[in-house]
Structure formats: C-alpha cells, structure tokens
Structure 1
C-alpha cells in the first residue's frame, strides 16, 4: 500500500514532488535530486525570494513594462534560475527583471531552472551571469567585479577567465569606482558615457572631476573633447621646467673690463660659458663708429 502511495506521489509531476515534505531535497546527493536539480520546474512565484546578491540595483520602468507586455502576450519564454533554500522555498539567482515583470501581469507561477548552491556559489553565479548581460550600466558592472574581489576573493585574472573579458577591460571598469559618487550616478543615469568617465578618472582631485563633469553635461561635450579638456588641465598644473644656470669657468674682473673700454672707447659685453668658451660683444652707434673700431683692431 505504501508503494502505491509513493508511486502516486511521484506521478503527480515534478512541481508536486517539490511540495511533498517526504521528498524534500536539500543536496545533490538526495533521492530524486536528479529529477529536480538541473531541470525546469513550474514554481509558485510566492515561493521565490529575491536574491540579496543581485548586482543590478536600477530597473528601468519603461523597459520593465515592455517586458511585462511581452510576457502577457507570449508567456515567460526564458526560465529564471533559482537555488533551493528549504522546503518549497527558493532564492533567485538570475532573472529578477523577468520575475518582476511576471508579477506585474499577475502570473502565479513561473518556469525556473533549479540549482543547489551555497551563498558563495549563488553570488558567483549571479554576478557572472549579470556581468555578461548587455543591459547593465558600467557602474553596476564595476560593482559586480568589486564584489567578486571582496566577497569571493577572485583575482582579476580569475575573473577574466570566468566572465570571458580581458584583464585590462576589468581594470578599466574597476577604475570607474574611483570617480566622485556624483559622476558615478551620472554614468548610471546616462548623462555621460563610460568613455567620459575613463577620461575624468585621470584627474585625482575630485573637485576638479566634478567641475569637468558639469562642463560635459552643460556643454554636451564628446569623449574626445573631454579628453582634450583633461589634457589641458593636466598641462596647466605641470611644474615649469627651469634650466639651471651654468657657472662661468672664470671671471673677467673690473680691471680687464676697463682695459677693453679704454681700448675700444665704448662699453663692451663679455659672456663666459662653463666650458671656458665665451664671446665679446662690441657695440657701435654709426658707420663712422664702426670704421673707428675696425681701425683700432687693425692697429
């Protein structure tokens, strides 16, 4: 009799199996785990908790409404991914937009791909999947990379392998987090691009950063124009190179200068370089004066 009841329970389908306390699956090694983990199951929306590790924090309402309209018309085509927490309790790993839009149109169940993962694995899966999406803003991506460093202790090289991005690309995103928070918000809201942010980050002074940011927004500057503005600022603060004066290798004393003046009948200029070389400048005031000096030289 017990066997008949068991077969009947299994025959109710995978969704029913999940709600059977006698078949509660907590690990991949549990009985019937192979029937659930890795499969797409129709889950009650109310049984799914939002992922606290979700890297996305901004959800465009217009985009969400468009997705909701599509789901209402065609249904939820792409399943969400969840992990099993407890009996009939799940936590979202990826697909928060789809889950939100499904709730907006009044769906009570959604197709879900079921995983069993610990917190670190859940965070890693959520972050990596979201980084690979095309609709995250640059700051959200940068924050996701930073969380992989802080909470999963991944190096930039390990992240490069996980997300399929060059290490230099990851480094460029992470540098955006050094920008003033006002500028980070500007990037998230679409007032400036990541290219603008990469140009501004070359300036250490955050007050100057925000000044340039305001010019970009008010004057609608391009990335190239922003780069030129940053370069002009950096050039303006460079210390002026001053050439050290070379000391003359010897000095002409007053008696020697006086001898020149007495001979030529005019004040002369003597310049001596550090290597002992130099020049004597003899001024003249007219052609007649010039001829007079020539006669003195010829003797």
Structure 2
C-alpha cells in the first residue's frame, strides 16, 4: 500500500478548499440527522475498496457510541451525495443505523472531486493505483494539466507523473498493486522492462517468490540486457550500479523512464522517454528549455 510519508505535506488541504469556497458563498455548519437511504456515495470517490475489518471496527464503535464527526453532503436530485465521510456512512449502514449526523453544503462538481481526493490522500491509505486514478480523474474531468494538479495538491510534478505512469500497467498487475501484493517501487520497476510482454510474468514471479525491489531490479536488468541486440558483434556489457542509480534518480526527477548508454571510452548518451507532446513540454520545462 502507499506509504503514509508520501501523503504528508499537501499544500492545499480540505479546510483550505472549504474556506476558499466560503469566501464566495456563506455556509452554515448546522448538523442535522439525514436518512441513510437518502444518501449516495461521492461519484468522484477515488477509493474502490474499503478494508472490511476496519469498517467492522468502526461499525461496532458506532453501535456503542454513535457518530462523533458528522459527514458532509450536498443536495442532489435524489437526496444527498457525500462530499466527505464515506467510511462513516458505510459503517453506519453496517451498524444498522437509520440516520447519520450530516452537514449540508453547496459544492460544485470541481470542488467535490478535489475534496474526495484530498480527504483520501490526507486521512486514508489509498493504494498507489487508486491514487494514480485520483490524479487522472482530476486531469480529465477538470481539463487541467499535471502541473496544475501538482500545484493544487502541493505535490511535485515528477511525483504526480510517477503515479500516472502506473496506469499503463496491465490490468492484472494493477490488481496486484491494489491488493498490496506489489509495492509502488516494484510496480515502477516493472515499467522499466523493455519487452512489455514480460511485465505480467515478472510481476507474478515477484509475488510468488517474495522478491525485494533490489532483487526485482536485478532480474529486470538481466532481462533487458538479454533482450538487446549485440552492437557491432560484441555483447553489450551490463550497466554499472552507478549508471543504474543515475537512471533511477533522473527518472524520479523527470517522472519518466531514463536510459543511459555508456561506452568504454566514457562517452555515451542519455535518453528521456515522453508519452505525448504535453509530456515533452513538461520535461523541457524541468530542463528549463524554452522554445518560444
């Protein structure tokens, strides 16, 4: 699952969104009991799965003591939609409650999406794939760039780009990441395989044999070396740990795959992958290259 350390330091929190919106339109914070059967989950909720054990614990607590923190909802055509607090809503249903304390607020779709993403990033552990989908939803639904997402959420552009790259993994591998069988670091390593047909079998091998990230990287390095054509009749030598480390650091910096080729004479080349014209412009901006 995603590391909690990566969740900290968000530049724009939920309270900031609430307060920014309230500057435009006064809100009331009165709490009322709302029928659970009139409430629907947030349609922009990035979380696909909820930990059943944790929900059961919360449901038992609610049975004994009730819901201390009201959920936040907005009115919709058929009742209400949850802005924040879906775990409390689900646990209350499990506890057999008929109503739940709620604060009704006026939010547009854009604010709904931002709050759903921020609530999960700050308060719960999304899987890396769920986090990637959350960023992708903001980009597509709000028609904004990776740079704008990073600014809104207080994350670096390479950080956002690295998560978005996970969405290019095969679906079966994404499910392994969602289940916590593969870590973020292992999933990113798999993306460096030159022969994409090897990703699924390599992922399964990693899980079945309990490979560490370092062990997986060694396997991938060998697979990539074996998959390359010899240059001018001589076998290409394996890359040194220094070159591999440099590739990883540059990959983190640019949020994409970086390949370094070095000859025995010390010369060589650096290749930086990009997936679209917009992605190329992002990399050029990081290099401080202005083509205007």
TM-score, with length taken from structure 1: 0.65
Q: Could you tell me how far apart the structure 2 residues matched to 1:124 and 1:66 are?
A: 28
For residues 233 and 68 of structure 1, the distance between their equivalents in structure 2, rounded to whole angstroms, comes to 48
Match of 2:50, SS state, is: coil
**Is there any run of 5+ residues in structure 2 with no aligned partner, and where?**
1-21, 235-292
Alignment of 1:122-133 (within 5 A): 122-133=112-123
Question: Is residue 149 of structure 1 aligned with residue 139 of structure 2?
Answer: yes
Q: Is the 1:85–1:91 contact (alpha carbons within 8 Å) kept by the matching residues of 2?
A: yes
Matching of residue 46 in structure 1 with residue 46 in structure 2: no
1:287 equivalent in structure 2: none
| Distance in 2 of aligned mates of 1:84 and 1:196 | 42
Alignment correspondent of 1:276: none
- Name the residue aligned to 1:77: 68
Structure 2 counterpart of 1:205: 195
Give secondary structure in 2 for the equivalent of 1:77.
coil
On the 8 A contact 1:48/1:92 being kept in 2, the answer is yes
Identify the range of structure 1 (199-208 vs 220-229) with the bigger mean alpha-carbon deviation: 199-208
Query: Which has the bigger relative contact order, CA under 8 A and spacing at least 6?
Result: 2
Partner of 1:108: 98
Deviation at 1:80, TM superposition (A): 1.4
Residue 213 of structure 2 corresponds to 223
Q: Distance in 2 between matches of 1:174 and 1:208?
A: 20
Which of 1 and 2 has greater Rg? 1
Contact 1:83 1:122 in 2 (8 A): no
CA distance in 2, matches of 1:155, 1:228: 35
- Once residues 162 and 132 of structure 1 are traced to their aligned partners in structure 2, the CA distance between those partners, rounded to angstroms, is 14
Larger mean Cα displacement after TM superposition, 163-172 or 120-129: 120-129
Structure 1 segment 134-283 matched on structure 2, within 5 A: 134-242=124-232
CA gap of 1:226–1:44, structure 2 versus 1, over 3 A, is same
Give aligned pairs, total. Answer: 211
- Deviations along 1:155-199, whole A, 9 cap, x unmatched? 222211222222211111111111111110001011111111010
Q: What is the Cα deviation at residue 132 of structure 1?
A: 3.0
For residues 99 and 106 of structure 1, the distance between their equivalents in structure 2, rounded to whole angstroms, comes to 11
Range with greater deviation from structure 2 (88-97 or 141-150): 88-97
Residue 204 (structure 1) shift: 4.5
Distance 2:193 2:123 in 1: 30
Shift of the 206–217 alpha-carbon distance from structure 1 to 2, 3 Å rule, reads same
Report if the CA contact (8 A) 2:194-2:224 is conserved.
Answer: no
Distance 1:179 1:205 in 2: 13
Q: Deviations over 1:196-240 (max 9, x none)?
A: 101001125332001111110121101111111111111222332
Secondary structure of 1:59's aligned partner? coil
Q: What is the aligned-residue RMSD (CA, Å)?
A: 2.2
Q: Is the 8 A contact 1:37 1:116 kept in 2?
A: no
